[in-house]
Amino acid sequence: MNARLDRRLVTAGLGVTVAQLVTLWADHTPARLPVPLTCPGCGHPYSEKAPLCPTAAVVRPLLRRRRHETHPDVLAPLTPNQLLDLTGNRLSTALPAEVTR
């Protein structure tokens, strides 16, 4: 599978809502440890150089900036690992193997 931008992101463009960003983040980041070798949403192979798939790389800065726009409940669908990957400084897909596997 070729890792490319999620069609939902392309279609929504600049009009993307926070709820849509949350759904995309949930689909394109590991729900829990140990993290898979590839993105569950698009098959992007995780590596130290590319710990985010193309979709997650676009969604992360947008969602980090905009998550306060709406009720905090909008983040409820995210697992603890997805929330940490979003709001923390660490990315589970960039953590050393002994921590994540």
Give residues in contact with Zn ion (CB under 5 A). Answer: 28, 39, 41-42, 44, 53, 55
The tokens 């980090």 sit on which residue?
Answer: 64
Is residue 7 within 8 A of residue 58, CB to CB? The reply is no
By beta-carbon distance, which residue lies closest to Zn ion?
A: 53
CB-wise, 34 or 70, nearer to Zn ion? Answer: 34
Least Cβ distance, residue 100 to Zn ion (angstroms): 17
How far, in Å, CA of 75 to CA of 63, rounded?
10
How far, in Å, CA of 44 to CA of 13, rounded?
21
Least Cβ distance, residue 81 to Zn ion (angstroms): 15
CB-wise, 44 or 67, nearer to Zn ion? Answer: 44
